[in-house]
Every structure is written in structure tokens, then in C-alpha cells.
Amino acid sequence: MPERRDIGWLLLTEGRAAEAYAELQPVHEDLCLLYGPDHPDAREVADALARLRLSGAG
């Protein structure tokens, strides 16, 4: 899973917001299932997804 999250961050830094959202959404779902939505990793990805949605990418 860390690799998928890293791919999402890389896509985000390259300005490929829609692709980053598509990569990070299932990562977030997996993190929530494994650790719960309040886990720091899940919150970090959730925050990124929220910013992407606000920018129109998600």
C-alpha cells in the first residue's frame, strides 16, 4: 500500500490531479479498513482527497 500512496503523491506533484485522486481514493478506503479513519495515514490521504475535490479533480 505505501507504493500506491507514493504513486498518488507523485502524480499530484506532477500536476496530474485527476489521476492522483483515482490512485489515492482506494488507498484511503484501504487505510480506513485496516486502521480506521482517524489513523494519521488515513487522515493525511483524506485531507489530500478533500483538497483535490475542492480543486475539481475529484
What is the number of domains present in the chain?
A: 1
The residue assigned the cell 490512485 is: 23
25, 54 contact by CB (below 8 A):
no
Which residues form the domain of 29? 2-54
pLDDT in tens, 4-58: 999 999 999 999 999 999 999 999 999 999 999 999 999 999 999 999 999 988 7
The residue assigned the cell 480506513 is: 32
Q: What is the pLDDT of residue 3?
A: 92
CA distance 19 to 42: 19
pTM: 0.89
**Surface-to-core class of residue 33, CB atoms within 10 Å of its CB (0-12 exposed, 13-18 middle, 19+ buried):** exposed
Q: What is the pLDDT of residue 12?
A: 93
CA distance 2 to 51: 20
